Structure formats: structure tokens, C-alpha cells
């Protein structure tokens, strides 16, 4: 069964450094998402991406964040200058509403630790 894959599984970085989290969505899916979960808190929506552009973003997704689909298979989340409060588990997800509306397929997550 196809799965969403994410790399790295864990990244430790210094405050102020740039981080890129990578995701390979399921190949025939059209919508792509990033969510994050700060330890002990709920899963929060960051951004959705469709047709090579952001379709919706939350207030968390400020100018420090960007997303890209550079080569038709990868979907990346970049944090330009990390802050301590960016430490969280970041989940990538993809969906194809034409088949089962509302079903997002999640990756296993990338744990980001900012020191």
C-alpha cells in the first residue's frame, strides 16, 4: 500500500538555523499538507498546497515558513530561521478528495528539536 514518507525522522538544530523537512506524498494525490504537533498539544494545521501553490495557510505559517514542490515528487517545508518554539513533530499529509473526501494520509512525522 502506498505511503507518505518523511525525512529526516529527527533533526536537531541550533536556533537561527535554516531547516528543510522533506516529504514524498502518495503519487496520485493532488493535495498536500503540513501539520505540526508541539509536545503535549494538539495537531495543528500549517498549510495546504494544491496545483503548485498554497491554497490555505494558518496564522502559524508566517514569513519564516515556506513550502515547495521542487520536482513533482517531493514536498518540502522550509523554516528559514528556527526559533525554540518551532520544536515540534511535523507531519506531512496528502489526499485525493476525488476518492475518499476527508481522508488525509499522514507520514510518520519529522521531529524537530531547536536548541
Partner 1 sequence: AQRVTQPEKLLSVFKGAPVELKCNYSYSGSPELFWYVQYSRQRLQLLLRHISRESIKGFTADLNKGETSFHLKKPFAQEEDSAMYYCALNPGSGNEKLTFGTGTRLTIIP
Angle ∠(39,87,14) on CA atoms, nearest 5: 150
Binding string, residues 11-30; x marks residues near partner 1 by CB under 8 A:
--------------------
The answer to whether 112 touches 11, Cβ cutoff 8 Å, is yes
List 11, 20, 24, 44, residue binding partner 1 (CB under 8 A): 44
List 11, 20, 24, 43, residue binding partner 1 (CB under 8 A): 43
The sign of the CA dihedral 12, 112, 68, 71 is positive
CA distances from 109 to 34, 51, 95 (A): 10, 23, 16
Please say which residue, 11 or 44, places its beta carbon nearer to partner 1.
44
Please say which residue, 14 or 102, places its beta carbon nearer to partner 1.
102
Of 8-16, 20-28, 33-41, 79-87: span binding partner 1 (CB under 8 A): 33-41
Amino acid at each position: 500500500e502506498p505511503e507518505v514518507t518523511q525525512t529526516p525522522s529527527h533533526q536537531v538544530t541550533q536556533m537561527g538555523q535554516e531547516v528543510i523537512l522533506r516529504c514524498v506524498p502518495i503519487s496520485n494525490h493532488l493535495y498536500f499538507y503540513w501539520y505540526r504537533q508541539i509536545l503535549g498539544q494538539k495537531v495543528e494545521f500549517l498549510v495546504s498546497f494544491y496545483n503548485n501553490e498554497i491554497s490555505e495557510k494558518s496564522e502559524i505559517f508566517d514569513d519564516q515558513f515556506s513550502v515547495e514542490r521542487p520536482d513533482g515528487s517531493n514536498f518540502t517545508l522550509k523554516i528559514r530561521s528556527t526559533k525554540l518554539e518551532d520544536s515540534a513533530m511535523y507531519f506531512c499529509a496528502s489526499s485525493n478528495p476525488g476518492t475518499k473526501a476527508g481522508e488525509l494520509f499522514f507520514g510518520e512525522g519529522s521531529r524537530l528539536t531547536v536548541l
